[in-house]
Structure 1
Amino acid sequence: MWWFIPAMIATVAWGTADLFYKKGADPADKYSFLKTVILVGTIMGLHGIAVIFIQGIDYDPSYMIKYLPVSFFYVTSMAVGYAGLRFLELSVSSPVQNSSGAIVSVMTFLFLGQTMAKIQVFAIVLITIGVVMLGVFEQRLAEKEEVENKKMVDRKYKYGAIALLFPLMYAFLDSIGTFADAWFFDAYATVDEATLEMQANISYEFTWLLVAIVAFIYLVVIKKESFRPKDQVDRGLAAIFETLGQFFYVYAISSNAIVVAPMISAYSVVSIILSRIFLKEKLTRNQYSVIILIIIGIVLLSIE
């Protein structure tokens, strides 16, 4: 059971990364998500370089182009997720983002002709109902807050149900990335799987680094925005935990995918617990009920 330790580390690391993503999402700073992108890309890139030199990997740069369609959807989904955290509680955003597995199942059913077991259909229904009900509750809270605060200054639920578009878009883009990932490994099936995984992972991290460089040039050089290192502590910690989770996830999933997948896919539980402890987030009973519904759906879907 050596896989259990890296699986646990990945689960806790990604849940902790969510905590710091939220802490780094400044509602008053419309560029806060780009600052997070810069930190994540920098840490990812440094990790990729370290892997090459420490493990003596013979990296082929052409894989950056080959893996680019996959990297594009993964990177874009994460950037959208960072932007959404300015408008939503982490306890709401995280489980909705993790519903991407339901979208992948639907896509494989529609485009690849694969069948779905009854438990998969049930899980998708649970997730769909949960997301819709979250939108309803968010909108009700927004309307209630608007009545109570006519000036609409620094409103917690300013965008209501519309804010859910961010984690939903994350889930959609992430699911396309997963779909493209499967296509990539099928297209290059003649290459040794371990070698292909390493080339793909390093390419993904280097793509992140390039995106971080472009984001930095846009933010600091073009828009003349401040980017002081002392203000990026939370974002930097989020990037470190994100990379840590990615590192241990690769080892865990390759050894016992059928158990590891549902375990890690529910890391939003860690996010919710941490948000209650450190961010003092308090949701309504209805919100927690549908969030539990979504998490159950995610776990059932992953088990199958």
Structure 2
Amino acid sequence: MGVMISLPIGILFGLGALLAWGVSEFFAALSSRKTGSVKTFFWSQVISLIVYTSSFVFFFFSLPSISFIEWLLLLIMTITVIGGIFNYYEGFSLGKVAVVSPIVNAWPLVTLFFALTVLRQTLTFAQMIAVLLVIFGGLLVSFKLSDLAKLKFKNSARGVRHAIIGSLFFGIAFTLLDPLVTSLGFFIPVFLQKVIQIPLSFGYIKMKGADISFPKEAALPIVLIGILEFSGVVTYNLAISSEYTVLIAPLMSAIPMVTIILARLFFKEALTVNQWVGFVFIISGLALLSL
């Protein structure tokens, strides 16, 4: 007789979010190679906003009453998201992926810290072990030790500052999302965040003098990124609607695992020992959560 694995609905939604975001990052890598990261980011966000707006018109129709504090939190969350994204890309432009990626992907540690200290959420001992396994597993799969060995210290330090800032910004943004989802529901906070984010991002990109004409050669992956990003956010918000952020956010550390599996399947990219160890950590953490 087999062993039945049962996961709470919130964790299942969380796994859906990490799957959607992991596939989204895979297509983002494809698109960025064709047309650059700035165009990929901006136009995928525009597509995402179109999906959000269509969903709002068909399913929600009107906005709930929103207090001044909630608007303030929405604005701060949007600014931190934008700050996280642009520091993420700036880190990659200045530094090496093997250094920048693990640092940025450590943002769930920041959210975990704030969820425990500011939001006063708690974990059982078993849950704490599980989320730490997933977090450190996610860090291990996000880089190759062989790439680190080839780096020179002076060059590897470039981009680290932006990676740390990006990780902090993302961690803060996902912390702020928790009370907004609690008070406004799983959809409205991110819909409004996108409405605010697009013009602010457009202004920042134009200020930098970057070209953001629509990249026809990457139209399909950009549309898919926008749809997957929407799916990931909605399922993540549904997850934190039924489980604590302190439990769900760390699961997002496993996003690189999904992206790397796809790269392995489609591009035959070899996995290193540390990445295999990371997979074992992640699976062990998820198995522990199911007990």
Matched, 1:51 2:55: yes
| Residue 239 (str. 1) matches residue 226 (str. 2) | yes
Correspondence list, 1:4-19, <5 A: 9-19=16-26
Distance 1:278 1:107, change over 3 A: same
User: Alpha-carbon deviation of 1:84?
Assistant: 5.0
How high is the TM-score relative to the length of structure 2? 0.68
2:188 maps to which residue? 199
Give the 3 Å change call, closer, same or farther, for CA 104–244 of structure 1 in structure 2.
closer
Q: Tell me, which stretches of 5 or more residues in structure 1 are unaligned?
A: 144-157
Indicate the residue corresponding to 1:41 in structure 2: 45
Q: Which sections of structure 2, spanning at least 5 residues, go unmatched?
A: 1-7
What's the offset of the Cα at 1:54?
A: 1.0
Shift in Å, 1:273: 0.5
Deviation at 1:293, TM superposition (A): 6.9
- Return the letter of the residue paired with 2:227: I
> 1:74 touches 1:177 (CA, 8 Å); kept in 2?
yes
Aligned to 2:5: none
**1:282 aligned counterpart, secondary structure:** coil
The residue number in structure 2 matching 1:268 is 256
State the distance in 1 between where 2:134 and 2:103 align: 12
1:229 deviates by: 2.8
Q: Does the Cα contact within 8 Å between 1:71 and 1:207 map onto a contact in 2? A: yes
Distance 1:12 1:184, change over 3 A: closer
Kindly tell me: are residues 100 and 197 of structure 1, through their superposed partners in 2, closer, same or farther at Cα, counting changes over 3 Å?
Answer: same
> What is the CA deviation profile of residues 112-146 of structure 1, one whole-angstrom value per residue up to 9, with x for unaligned ones?
78777655379659956985996975431235xxx
Match of residue 214, structure 1, among 192, 203, 208: 203
Contact 2:44 2:223 in 1 (8 A): yes
Sort the Cα spacing of 1:130 and 1:198 in 2 relative to 1 into closer, same or farther, 3 A. closer
Relative distance call for 1:174 and 1:295 in structure 2 (3 A) is farther
- Asked if residue 175 in structure 1 is aligned to residue 171 in structure 2, the reply is yes
Which position in structure 2 is the counterpart of 1:88?
Answer: 97
1:169-209 C-alpha deviation (Å, 9 max, x unpaired): 44322111123334656xxx7xxx3x454431221121232
Deviation per residue, 1:206-262 (Å, 9 max, x gap): 12322343256346xx45x3734313333343222111222333334434669x936
Q: Report whether the alignment pairs 1:71 with 2:78.
A: yes
Q: Name the amino acid aligned to 2:44.
A: V
Identical-pair percentage: 19
**Do the aligned partners of residues 253 and 240 (structure 1) sit closer, same or farther apart at CA in structure 2, a change above 3 Å counting?**
same
- Aligned pair partner of 1:254 in 241, 245, 268: 241
Secondary structure class of the residue paired with 2:61: coil
User: Pick from 257, 260, 277: which aligns with 2:265?
Assistant: 277
Task: Report the Cα distance in structure 1 between the residues aligned to 2:242 and 2:124, rounded to whole angstroms.
Answer: 24
- How big is each residue's C-alpha offset from its partner over 1:62-99, in whole Å with a ceiling of 9 and x where there is no partner? 7654411112222322333345566427xx93x65443
Q: Tell me if structure 1 keeps the 8 A contact 2:27–2:224.
A: yes
Aligned-partner residue type, residue 37 of structure 1: F
In the TM superposition, 1:124-143 aligns within 5 A as: 124=132, 138-142=147-151
Could you tell me whether the CA contact under 8 Å between 2:43 and 2:214 is conserved in 1?
no
Q: Secondary structure of 1:67's match?
A: helix
Aligned residue runs from structure 1 range 154-193, under 5 A: 159-160=155-156, 168-182=164-178, 193=183
The reply to whether residue 102 of structure 1 matches residue 104 of structure 2 is no
In 2, are the aligned partners of 1:124 and 1:297 still within 8 Å (CA)? no
Q: How many residues align?
A: 275
Deviation at 1:301, TM superposition (A): 10
* AA aligned opposite 2:278: I
Alpha carbon RMSD of aligned pairs, Å? 4.7
**Contact 1:37–1:79 (Cα < 8 Å) also in 2:** no
- Counterpart in 2 of 1:154? none
